[in-house]
Amino acid sequence: MLNKEQVLKVATLSKLKLSEEEIELFSKQLPEIVKFIEKLENLNTEDILPFYELIDQKAPLRKDEVKPGLSQEEALANAPEKENGFFVVPKVIKTE
């Protein structure tokens, strides 16, 4: 069983926010998952061919037609914030 700090570290690395119940659940489940992955690492796959699709089906294609789109005003109509004809979004560049 993992302790709370270890589960929280994994959650932080995964960018997850966990409830107390989830922390308790994952502290029990994660060691089992790691054991399973360790078993997979020991499998001999030397003579195993990579998987590929056995059925050669083509996806049905539709005709590529130009259709009218939204005007700039229509596209921005429900925007929470707009400026000079563009959407305003939060800055997402993170530096550490």
54 close to 31: Cβ distance less than 8 angstroms: no
For the chain, the domains span: 4-41
- What class, spelled out in words, does domain 4-41 have in CATH? mainly alpha
CA distance 72 to 84: 11
Token couple for 9: 């570290």
pTM equals: 0.42
What does the pLDDT look like over 11-51, one tens digit per residue? 999 999 999 999 999 999 988 988 999 998 888 888 888 77
CA distance 6 to 10: 6
CA distance 44 to 48: 8
β 82-83/86-87 pair status: antiparallel
